[in-house]
Structure 1
Amino acid sequence: MPDQPATPLSATSTIPPSNPDPSPRKLNTRPNTFNEDRPIGQRPLTNPDFARGQPSHTISSEFLHPNGEERLRVEGAVPRGPSFTLDDFSNKDFIVRVFVDSLAESAVPANRRSGPANQQAFDPKPLIRTFENALQGLGNLSEELQEKESDLQSKVRRAEVQHDQTLDTLGLKLDQSIKQFEDLDISLNNPTTMDRGSRNDPSGGGNIAVQIGEKLEELDRKRRRALDANFLIQCWLEVGETGELTSLQDIQRQGGADNKVRCAVIAHQLMRISQRLDLAAWGQTNGHGRGVTNGVAGAFRSNYNTREVLEKFCETLEQELLKQFNNSYRKQNFDDMMECAKVLHDFNGGASVIAVFVNQHQFFIDRNQLITEEPSLQSLIDEVKVIMQEESFIIKRAFPYYETVLIKFIQRIFQQSIQQRLEMVLEKADTISSLAFLRSLHSSRNYISALVEDLKAHGLTEHPEPCSAQISQTLDQQMEELFVPYIVGNSYIEQEKKSLEEMNNSLLFKYNIYHSRRKKAPTGFMASLAQQGSQLMASAKDAYLERLDSSDLTQTQKEMMLRVAGVQETDKNKNDIEVSDQDGVLSTANAKRMMTWLAESVRRTLELGSPSDTPKDVATLLNLLMASMGQVYVETGLDAALEKATAQENSKTEPDLTYLPSIRPAVTIASIMSRFITTVLIRLAEANTTVRRSMEAQSKMGIESIEKKTNNIMKSTIDVLLNWVTKSLASQKKVDYLPKDETIDGTNLEVFSSELALSVQRLLIEHYKKYKINAAGGLMVTKDISKYVATLKEWNLNKDAETSVELLTEIGYLFIIGPEALRERSRNLATGPSGGSKKLAKADFKTYIQNREDYKSVGIQSVLSGL
């Protein structure tokens, strides 16, 4: 048994039974003295007689099979007997006789082996007989096992043969079934027509089957139509004779979507029959009185008003379905909602169920209760975005015609919730100012536009795909309808114009008051030139005061206008407001502020206005710009300056030129205007050639007007100055150039010139200490100093001052001469400061040398170390 694992062989080993008889079969009846209390593998294969030294030794063996098994048991009693495993007996070199001899030899005690020779020798025969009996038993068992194994193998072979035969039979049957199926499939799908008389031709079997199926379907449809017509007539007779719909109500009570759909269809058919037959119930007697139908008297007579009976039933059926739909909606039973929606769609087009779903939605109920407490339009839009995405999922699962429901839901949200909140926001903003209204309108449009784009991208019922074309169009349409009242026609651009005029008039209020109070020049040609600007200025001031006193303004609007104008609320009489000269000066800061408002208006106009109206709208804004900033602001300031200049042309006193600083901001503002008009407004009007050319002409005329007035001011100023110079020259005395000797003030001039030259020298000495100078820069410094010295020497200087000025030339040489020359000059330095001295101070000399770019060279460092 080489394949079995090695296990310890003790006094007891288990062997498969060879005899089915459960009774034990004894090989030896010798009493068993083997100790079984020890575990298997630790029981010695010995004989107790050996331990006692007895000459006769017995080893008993017996087969025991208490559980249907035969057990070979060998007993012995030898102290410290050897133990064996199955490997010992399954070895190829195992020999029974050798094994027994070794066992017998090991069973002889050691003291007996060395004892006297006359002692009786160990007799191995009993052991041999015992082993022989055991081997014989094992042989018998092996034969029995061999017989059983042969019997089982023959049975297995017979079963395999039978299994193979069964598989062949089943395979043959399967092949036959597949072939029959293929033949049938070919006969059904073969398009070739066959002779109707050739019934055995399989090529036409398919067409025959199709024709038979179509005829059966047609017969079934006719049968169902006949049954439906029979039932319809039965229901109509019930309505006409009893005024009830017992049969239809029985179907209704059965429940189920199909029965509900059938009830709805039959009810509609009965309603149409009633309209055709029971004209009296519908108020159409055709001129013949009750009971006359289509001109035939007595066609139908009813004791009941069939219309009322049917309408009552339809109403009951509809209410029941709507109630069921609501209950299913609360339970989130989408399948049942879908069934109810289908029935109601067949019943009345689904209008009632859509109305119930949309009108009774919790979102609208909550909004109706809390509409006045909403924090902002943005919060509403954020909530709408979430609600739309959630409800679109429910609509897709609850309605077969979900796009129609979603469109109704979108319309309700936009036309109720968003529109109400938008109106509230704009009304509140309008109480603040016109600009606040426009900004709120613009931001609201952006918020809602972003909502629409997010919903389109989300897809709603088409999620995660984008929205369908119909839903996308509905969203765009609803958004546009929200803002139609505010941007239709010229209403929007007029609102922008009103806001700009209001803000500009507020900003220029003090400016206009100042120029309206200034003393006017005598009437004449120059005054007539400024007449138009004065009229516009007065008109702007009056418009501001009129707007401020208007009862339409709220307190917040008035405060805003006064704040922009810089006026206090306590100033009751706005015509008596005190202004300063600074209020009448042109300011580029004010102009930039006005341009900012205008640019903001242009941006809003492009986003809120119609593209086709853009040229016309920007032309309106250009008119406002040229009037408010060009004429009222810039030209008014230029007119004031021109009046001051003109008034001094023949003046005998020294001219007042304080008006000249206003020319620069006027030119700057005109430049800003011109650039904005050219780069923004006119480009936006390119789509309309006529409007663009008109704007170009208007802009050119306005800018030229400003330029002409500026030129007139400069010309008048030249005239004023020339007049004053002429007058001053005319006042020159003829003896001024014939002074007496004692009147020549030469000493004072010399002192003044010398002091000024020495001061300039000190400044230049300190000036050149601040710069690093290289070789080329040294030449430039030498040239500059040479010019300074030449200029100073032209003055009337004393000798000491002239010598001190020459010191500057020495400073210039320090930046270009070499180390040896520097060492020569370092020997003649002063210890005091250089300013006003004839010699250069040692500290200044060192500073100049250190400013040279090459001061770290060996030669320069040697000069510095020698100081």
Structure 2
Amino acid sequence: MSAGGGGSFSIYDLNPEIKKLLNADNFLNGLSVNDFVEEISKDHILKGAEINKKAYLDPKPYIRSFESTIRELNRLSADANDQRIRGQKQVDAYELKHSQNVLELSNSIDKTTDKFNQLDIQISDVSRKINPLGATLNRISTSRDKSRETIFLIRAYHGFYTKGEYTPLETLRTSPKLNDNMECARYIKNLIHLSRRISDESLPPTLKCLQTVESYGERMEEDLLKKFERASEGDEFSGETFDIRTMNNVSQILYEYNQGITLMNWFVDKNDLVVDSSHDEETLEESEWEQWSDPSATNYDLGPHINAFLENIKFSIKSKARLSKKIFTNPETVIVLFIERVYKTALKRKVTTLLQLSLQQSLLAHVRILQALYGIVGDFTNQMKDYMITEEYDADQKVSQTLELANDGLFEEYLFDNAYLVREKRNLKEVVQATLNALDPDSFNEHTNDDSSLARSDTLRLNQSRAYDQTRFSAEKKRLAQFTQYVKAKVSERAGASDQVSKLELEEDDLKAIDCVETLLKTAAESIGRALELAPNEATEHSLDVLAVLIVNFAKLIVREELQLQGLNVFWSLNSIQFKKEILFCLTACAKKIIFPCVTNDAIAKSKARFMINEFVKAQETSINELLDHIVDYSLRQLSGFLSKQKKKDFLCDTIEDDTEACELISEFLTEMYANISVALTGDNLLNTLSTIGNAFLNLLLEHYKKFSVNSIGGVVLTKDAIRYQSIIDEWGIPELSEKFQILKEIGNLFTVSSELVNSLVTEGQLSRMKPYNVRQYISKRADFNPSYADKFFKFR
């Protein structure tokens, strides 16, 4: 270690003597390493001694070891440097050699590329020369084959023309080799074509020859069909006795003859019996038909009546598809024929039978059965499409297209040209009418609706453009006005011919009406759901029509409710408010969850639906407000009338008896009024109505007490009446109103306290906020009031 100034760093400080030795001048003047070591270790006399209780350590052996280590490291460093220099020289030599190899290889590649290009040019020249020769050879070969076939056909025609037969052709037909048989079938097909072209009525032998050739072809086909039939006899499902190879050979031969059309039709006809044997018509029980025709029913299911039938058909199609793939050259064509046959026969009979039976029951049963069949058969068709694709029977999508077309064909009669929508709308009208008739046959009968004209107008509108404007529902509005007049007359007849209806009967009728509303909503939801599935392009417009039907018939129910309550207890008319609120809630919920999702992609239709609903809601809210105004006016008239029954001597009495007659009448009326209003109204409607009546009643009382003279005992009677009014108002639960009624007791106190206390009384409580003129009016009704000395006694101005 060395110590020095500047930026040097040392863990231990050196003795001053050592620092003097560490000087370059000392070494230049001849100080050797040995002398330096001896100098720094001259304290060897301490050897064997202890310093700070530790044995003295001689540094010289360690220094010598360090010297040896340094010398060895220097030697190794020199060797390594020599090896590095030698390595660099070797790398330079190898890099030079690699560069020479790269240059030589590049030259070799260039030469090879030139040779390849020359060879490619030569090959191209040879190809250009050979290709015409190859094409010529192909034409020669094809011409030779055609010439051979042509010669054979000419000879065969000559043989049939002269002898009625041609032995080489018969040899090919009877040959055990498949290729010979296929060649024979091909010759016969061409021979028939040739004979038809040559035949001429002016040359009878040519016609006879054509007939002979055709008969020969028919005999060949009949023999092959019989052979195919024998090979196909046995257990179809086990496949143990099927001669698949023979059947496949016959299929290939007849495919050459006429694309195998006759064979495929025969195969489909024969196996059509399997489907027919599984075709067992099942009809629904009477109780089941009732469920299908019940608008409120939900537990109807067509699955048990058709699932087994469809499973049999599915099994037949799958088995025929597997068999066709083994037998026929073009199995897709056979599968297509079989599917078309199944859909046009078995499935068509099943669907038609069920739909015709449903029409005999009701339109609701018909449209429900139609939707159920459409969904079930549609699922069946999709399953068959998936199977054909998965099992690779449908490479060109021909089978899938056939399945889709066949499925659509089953329902075309019932869905084409809006036939379904016409029935759906008629069903909607019938269900609505039946539901309303069940609620009230006297009000909702055939005279209130012109169903025939409505159905005609529906059909006409469906066949024309389905434009919408405000006049679209003018007919419905007109019928609603007629309905109002009709129901009003019926209600009047019932009111004159029978006793008054009870509150319980009204409540029961309201429950039935709400059930009717729920049934109408369920019917509407079902109708829209069916339209979305069966006529999706018309679903938006149909949703608007359904909404119109709901609004018109809800309006009829509301009119009936209102007219039924006319002439009865006026407070019972508040029941119509609750009924309207229920209908508004149901309509808005239906619009939110059913109508608007159906018209969300049509801004115009959505605007129309919103307009129709808003107009209906606005009309009902206006009607509710008018009814509440009527209730308020009626209540105030009654209260005013009861107050008019107050006797002049009620508050000029000598004894305190029961409440006055006017108080009794008013108390009973207020109690009845609150009981009815609190049941019919809720929230702000209830609070506002009670507050309006309460404030107006308070004003009536304040003016009422200005009209009567009151003595001290009569003041107690007045206060007693006021306390009873106060207790009734307190039951309404409106703190602000209860506080206002406190003034009645204070007014009563004006008549009961001594004259000396009147002045202090009018300066406290609510009387202090009343105008002095009004307070003086009450004070002037004291029995002991004398205007000449009023100021002296009452000190009141």
> If the TM-score is normalised by the length of the shorter chain, which range does it land in?
0.5 to 0.7
Take 1:303 and 1:601, find their aligned partners in 2: how far apart are those partners?
68
State whether residues 515 and 640 of structure 1, in contact with CA within 8 Å, keep that contact through their aligned partners in structure 2. Answer: no
Take 1:680 and 1:369, find their aligned partners in 2: how far apart are those partners?
39
Q: 1:673 to 1:231 in 2, by over 3 A?
A: same
Query: Is residue 323 of structure 2 the alignment partner of residue 394 of structure 1?
Result: yes
Take 1:341 and 1:538, find their aligned partners in 2: how far apart are those partners?
80
Aligned-pair distance for 1:327? 2.5
Query: Is residue 295 of structure 2 the alignment partner of residue 346 of structure 1?
Result: no
Query: Is residue 221 of structure 2 the alignment partner of residue 318 of structure 1?
Result: yes
Aligned-pair distance for 1:207? 10
Alignment of structure 1 residues 705-744 onto 2, 5 Å: 705-741=619-655, 743=657
Please name the residue that 2:352 is paired with.
423
Q: 1:364 to 1:191 in 2, by over 3 A?
A: farther
Alignment of structure 1 residues 37-56 onto 2, 5 Å: none
Please name the residue that 1:52 is paired with.
none
State whether residues 192 and 213 of structure 2, in contact with CA within 8 Å, keep that contact through their aligned partners in structure 1. Answer: yes
Aligned-pair distance for 1:365? 5.9
Q: 1:488 to 1:340 in 2, by over 3 A?
A: same
TM score, norm. by length of structure 1? 0.49
Aligned-pair distance for 1:309? 0.9
Aligned-pair distance for 1:620? 1.4
Q: Secondary structure at the match of 2:600?
A: coil
Q: 1:514 to 1:538 in 2, by over 3 A?
A: same
Aligned-pair distance for 1:409? 1.4
Q: Secondary structure at the match of 1:657?
A: helix
Which of 412, 425, 428 in structure 1 is aligned with 2:341? 412
The amino acid that maps onto 2:572 is T
The amino acid that maps onto 1:326 is E
After superposition, the C-alpha distances for 1:783-833 in whole angstroms (9 at most, x for unaligned) are xxxxxxxxxxx999xxxxxxxxxxxxxxxxxxxxxxxxxxxxxxxxxxxxx
Q: Secondary structure at the match of 2:560?
A: helix
Take 2:642 and 2:194, find their aligned partners in 1: how far apart are those partners?
119
Aligned-pair distance for 1:376? 2.3
After superposition, the C-alpha distances for 1:809-864 in whole angstroms (9 at most, x for unaligned) are xxxxxxxxxxxxxxxxxxxxxxxxxxxxxxxxxxxxxxxxxxxxxxxxxxxxxxxx
Aligned-pair distance for 1:399? 1.4
After superposition, the C-alpha distances for 1:197-252 in whole angstroms (9 at most, x for unaligned) are xxxxxxx8x99999998877665544443332222121111222223344422321
Q: 1:510 to 1:589 in 2, by over 3 A?
A: closer
Alignment of structure 1 residues 126-145 onto 2, 5 Å: none
Aligned-pair distance for 1:667? 0.9
After superposition, the C-alpha distances for 1:267-313 in whole angstroms (9 at most, x for unaligned) are 22222322332211xxxxxxxxx24xxxxxxxxx8376122112211
Please name the residue that 1:252 is paired with.
173
State whether residues 343 and 406 of structure 2, in contact with CA within 8 Å, keep that contact through their aligned partners in structure 1. Answer: yes
Query: Is residue 565 of structure 2 the alignment partner of residue 637 of structure 1?
Result: no
Q: 1:457 to 1:273 in 2, by over 3 A?
A: closer
Query: Is residue 519 of structure 2 the alignment partner of residue 593 of structure 1?
Result: yes
Q: 1:728 to 1:362 in 2, by over 3 A?
A: same
Q: Secondary structure at the match of 1:508?
A: helix
Q: Secondary structure at the match of 2:251?
A: helix
Take 1:420 and 1:684, find their aligned partners in 2: how far apart are those partners?
34
The amino acid that maps onto 2:340 is Q
Choose 365-374 or 435-444, whichever is displaced more: 365-374
Take 2:261 and 2:483, find their aligned partners in 1: how far apart are those partners?
62
After superposition, the C-alpha distances for 1:625-674 in whole angstroms (9 at most, x for unaligned) are 1122x222233313444x447xxxxxxxxx54223223212211112102
After superposition, the C-alpha distances for 1:76-123 in whole angstroms (9 at most, x for unaligned) are xxxxxxxxxxxxxxxxxxxxxxxxxxxxxxxxxxxxxxxxxxxxxxxx
Aligned-pair distance for 1:388? 2.0
State whether residues 596 and 606 of structure 2, in contact with CA within 8 Å, keep that contact through their aligned partners in structure 1. Answer: yes
Q: Secondary structure at the match of 2:605?
A: helix
Q: 1:583 to 1:322 in 2, by over 3 A?
A: farther
Take 2:622 and 2:278, find their aligned partners in 1: how far apart are those partners?
64
Aligned-pair distance for 1:697? 1.9
Q: 1:259 to 1:502 in 2, by over 3 A?
A: same
Q: 1:620 to 1:742 in 2, by over 3 A?
A: closer
State whether residues 200 and 206 of structure 2, in contact with CA within 8 Å, keep that contact through their aligned partners in structure 1. Answer: no
Alignment of structure 1 residues 616-695 onto 2, 5 Å: 616-628=541-553, 630-641=554-565, 643-644=566-567, 655-695=569-609
Aligned-pair distance for 1:370? 4.2
Which of 603, 610, 613 in structure 2 is aligned with 1:696? 610
Please name the residue that 1:615 is paired with.
540
State whether residues 239 and 245 of structure 1, in contact with CA within 8 Å, keep that contact through their aligned partners in structure 2. Answer: yes
After superposition, the C-alpha distances for 1:668-694 in whole angstroms (9 at most, x for unaligned) are 111210232244313312333333322
Q: 1:465 to 1:319 in 2, by over 3 A?
A: closer
State whether residues 414 and 478 of structure 1, in contact with CA within 8 Å, keep that contact through their aligned partners in structure 2. Answer: yes
The amino acid that maps onto 2:630 is S
Take 1:388 and 1:538, find their aligned partners in 2: how far apart are those partners?
64
Take 2:629 and 2:384, find their aligned partners in 1: how far apart are those partners?
66
The amino acid that maps onto 2:416 is V
Take 1:482 and 1:538, find their aligned partners in 2: how far apart are those partners?
48
Please name the residue that 1:268 is paired with.
189
Aligned-pair distance for 1:605? 1.5
Aligned pairs, how many?
A: 474
State whether residues 622 and 681 of structure 1, in contact with CA within 8 Å, keep that contact through their aligned partners in structure 2. Answer: yes
Q: 1:236 to 1:539 in 2, by over 3 A?
A: farther
State whether residues 264 and 343 of structure 1, in contact with CA within 8 Å, keep that contact through their aligned partners in structure 2. Answer: yes
State whether residues 428 and 523 of structure 2, in contact with CA within 8 Å, keep that contact through their aligned partners in structure 1. Answer: yes
Q: 1:394 to 1:234 in 2, by over 3 A?
A: same
The amino acid that maps onto 2:365 is A
Please name the residue that 2:367 is paired with.
438
Please name the residue that 1:329 is paired with.
232
Q: Secondary structure at the match of 1:513?
A: coil
State whether residues 341 and 350 of structure 1, in contact with CA within 8 Å, keep that contact through their aligned partners in structure 2. Answer: yes
Q: 1:666 to 1:213 in 2, by over 3 A?
A: same
Question: Per residue, is there more helix in 1 or in 2?
Answer: 2
Please name the residue that 1:173 is paired with.
none
Aligned-pair distance for 1:726? 1.9
Query: Is residue 328 of structure 2 the alignment partner of residue 403 of structure 1?
Result: no
Q: 1:600 to 1:516 in 2, by over 3 A?
A: closer
Please name the residue that 2:426 is paired with.
498
Q: Secondary structure at the match of 1:361?
A: helix
In structure 2, stretches of 5+ residues that fail to align are 1-118, 234-240, 285-303, 446-475, 489-503, 661-718, 722-797
The amino acid that maps onto 1:473 is Q
Take 2:185 and 2:540, find their aligned partners in 1: how far apart are those partners?
59
Aligned-pair distance for 1:432? 3.0
The amino acid that maps onto 2:256 is D
Take 1:744 and 1:255, find their aligned partners in 2: how far apart are those partners?
130
Take 1:605 and 1:318, find their aligned partners in 2: how far apart are those partners?
52
State whether residues 615 and 692 of structure 1, in contact with CA within 8 Å, keep that contact through their aligned partners in structure 2. Answer: no
State whether residues 616 and 691 of structure 1, in contact with CA within 8 Å, keep that contact through their aligned partners in structure 2. Answer: yes
Q: 1:403 to 1:656 in 2, by over 3 A?
A: same
State whether residues 395 and 405 of structure 1, in contact with CA within 8 Å, keep that contact through their aligned partners in structure 2. Answer: yes
Please name the residue that 1:453 is paired with.
382
The amino acid that maps onto 1:357 is F
After superposition, the C-alpha distances for 1:564-610 in whole angstroms (9 at most, x for unaligned) are xxxxxxxxxxxxxxx97567536333322221222122222212212
Take 1:693 and 1:669, find their aligned partners in 2: how far apart are those partners?
21
The amino acid that maps onto 2:264 is I
Please name the residue that 2:149 is paired with.
228
Q: Secondary structure at the match of 2:648?
A: coil
Q: 1:391 to 1:237 in 2, by over 3 A?
A: same
Alignment of structure 1 residues 486-635 onto 2, 5 Å: 486-513=414-441, 515=443, 533=480, 535-536=482-483, 584-585=509-510, 587-610=513-536, 612-628=537-553, 630-635=554-559
